[in-house]
A and B are shown apart, each in its own frame.
Chain A
Amino acid sequence: MSDVQEAPNQLLDVNLHENWSCIQATESGPRSESEHLQVTIGATVPTGFEQTAADEVREKLGSSCKISKDRGKIYFDISVESLAQVHCLRSVDNLFVVVKEFKDYQFKETKEEVLKDFEELAGKLPWSDPLKVWKINTNFKKKKTKRKKIKQNADSHILDYYENPAIKEEISTLVGDDLASYKDEKDESSKEETQSKMLKFRVTCNRAGEKHCFSSNEAARDFGGAVQDYFKWKADMTNFDVEVLLNIHDSEIVVGIALTEESLHRRNITHFGPTTLRSTLAYGMLRLCAPQPTDIIVDPMCGTGAIPIEGATEWSNCYHIAGDNNPLAVDRAANNISSLLTKSQIKEGEVSWGLPIDAVQWDICNLPLRTGTVDIIVTDMPFGKRMGSKKRNWNLYPACLREMSRVCRPGTGRAALLTQDKKCFIKALSGMGHVWRKVHTVWVNIGGLHAAVYLLKRTPQAFVHPSEQDGERTPW
């Protein structure tokens, strides 16, 4: 199994909130002037889940969102003090601070004129507040990066915590090291602030629309040139401090500064499998099901366990079970769970073990679960492309839906099922109206494939085993 080699290169994207909340408390002094700053934040989210993300923003930040025409983006206003909480959002992939938004930009006729306008634009934008936000954000991130390096080393050694009690010694030492280095970082960064540093930057342009007479490269180049002249920054495509975003969607233009480098979407996973789901997507699917305290939530085809792991971290008052028929997958899921446990142990320093999650090997067509005990089923079904085959799906999907209807609690149970094989799924569902009712469909894009998340409600009808219907025609 090559899982062990996968871990160091595939980043354990740090669960940011643990660092942010404690760091924010110490930053009160020099920040007082920018405390009352209000800014607009933009976030990229998995397309199709804009509303779910907006709900999360309203719930956690109290802000209402504007959902952009540009699919996969939402915008909301916050005061700078809430920046730490913004990084705690679990439905967003990337964050940026908005410099300026043009709702209806008037493009001139020729390419030369349009590009000239972009050049002139650079010097006219209200950069100073967004740059303040960027600065605060960068200071936090510097501290986080050092911590992450330590954790990376920790995780590659501590894979199977459950198996080796001797590792307990290692953890307490690491906690000590971690705290010591955190103090060093604080001193370092305050030194850096007093020196004025030459900043490196790049411009990333995303353009969508049929009527534009220029390309994204041209816009990025000319706009970037003007930014460079204005700020005297150095352009660097790979090793940059500031990433300026130029997003053009028809006649809507948004200029922003990126607040995240690596996308947050792989945060909980150290051991990747062939089709690991983005954690942000996993979060969105779970949220669609509105988990209630003590709900039993099952992913019967868990693969690397992305969904139950996201569930256990965000809905820790529910109970999560991850299962798969492939022992390699169950191994990966268990390793990811171990890594998560280790991470939370290092963070808290104290002994706070145990997550409400378990990993089991089983066959989805014959689940060893008691009838009607599962409240929520969330899973990423084999698309039939990288995993399984379309032909196999014709038998698999009906069998899955049937078995899932058996274990799911009648009346209150629900399921969120992701698949790209929509035709097969709808056909399989059509014979199941007595147990499953489709209430919502979210169209999503998975690695270029047009997939759907189907939200199903379990009807109140109790499950009847086919053989108990002697003499009757089976309903399906």
Chain B
Amino acid sequence: MKLLTHNLLSSHVRGVGPRGFPLRLQATEVRINPVEFNPDFVARMIPKVEWAALLEAADTLHLVEVPKGPIEGYEHDEKFLRQMHHVLLEVRTGPSLASLATAG
């Protein structure tokens, strides 16, 4: 699944994490699939991103060049947007479908 999807997921089973979030990813397979870059789409997704979960996922999957958080004026920063585009939409984990590995 794409990391954007992972980022939207959580487990609200009580006792899992502070708000049942994030879910642990298994770094079994990582693939990169090119996706057409749409800066507008990425910019509007930034406010919806749960950064702590994203950074943890990126760490588990040993990704590099992942921004640590939204920067000032990110809407117009193409480099930032391209990095986020890559992380959220082009990195895919696990087999093509996921039955989620819930934390714990």
Contact = CB atoms under 8 A, between A and B. Distances in A.
Interface of A: 160, 162-163, 293-294, 296, 317, 319, 321, 327, 330-331, 334, 338, 351-354, 356, 358-362, 366, 368-371, 373-374, 406, 465, 467
B97 A354 contact: no
A398 to B, nearest CB: 18
Contact of B97 (A319, A361, A373): A361
Contacts, number: 84
Contacts of B28: none
A294 B9 contact: no
Q: B9, B33, B40, B48 — which one has the most chain A CB atoms within 10 A of its CB? A: B9
Interface string B48-80: 101000000000000000000000000000000
A351 B34 contact: yes
Contacts of A338: 96
A354 B10 contact: no
Contacts of A351: 34
B9 A368 contact: yes
A338 B99 CA distance: 18
B8 A369 contact: yes
Contact of B96 (A162, A294, A354, A368): A162
Nearest to A355: B35
B36 A354 contact: yes
A327 B95 CA distance: 13
Contact of A353 (B33, B50, B100): B33
27 contacts: A162-B31, A294-B41, A294-B44, A321-B8, A327-B97, A330-B97, A334-B96, A351-B34, A354-B33, A354-B34, A356-B89, A359-B96, A360-B9, A360-B98, A361-B98, A368-B9, A368-B10, A368-B11, A368-B100, A369-B8, A369-B10, A370-B8, A371-B12, A373-B8, A373-B48, A406-B12, A465-B12
A465 B12 CA distance: 10
A358 B89 contact: no
Nearest to B38: A317
Nearest to A292: B44
B97 A360 contact: yes
A293 B36 contact: no
A358 B23 CA distance: 16
Contacts of B14: 467
A299 to B, nearest CB: 13
A226 B65 CA distance: 74
Nearest to A320: B5
Interface of B: 1-2, 4-5, 8-14, 21, 23, 31, 33-36, 38, 40-41, 44-45, 48, 50, 89-90, 92, 95-100, 102
A143 B5 CA distance: 39
B35 A319 contact: no
A319 B37 CA distance: 14
B88 to A, nearest CB: 9
Q: A321, A331, A368 — which one has the most chain B CB atoms within 10 A of its CB? A: A368
Nearest to B35: A354
A24 B4 CA distance: 38
Contacts of B44: 293-294
Contacts of A366: 12-13
A360 B1 contact: yes
Contacts of B102: 368
A338 B96 CA distance: 10
Nearest to B96: A162
B45 A319 contact: yes
Given A163-B96, A334-B97, A361-B100, A293 B35 contact: no
Contacts of B34: 351, 353-354
A363 to B, nearest CB: 10
Contacts of B5: 321, 358, 360
A319 B4 contact: yes
Given A294-B44, A369-B10, A354 B99 contact: no
B48 A358 contact: no
Given A293-B44, A373-B8, A368 B23 contact: yes
A351 B35 CA distance: 9
Given A317-B38, A354-B90, A368-B23, A362 B100 contact: yes
A163 B29 CA distance: 11
Given A352-B36, A354-B35, A373-B8, A317 B100 contact: no
A369 B9 contact: yes
B99 A361 contact: yes
Contacts of B36: 352, 354
A192 B1 CA distance: 49
A361 B9 CA distance: 12
A412 to B, nearest CB: 13
A354 B95 CA distance: 16
Nearest to B95: A163
A293 B11 contact: no
Contacts of A373: 8, 48
Given A358-B2, A358-B5, A368-B23, A296 B38 contact: no
A129 B31 CA distance: 54
Contacts of B13: 366
Q: B12, B38, B89, B102 — which one has the most chain A CB atoms within 10 A of its CB? A: B12
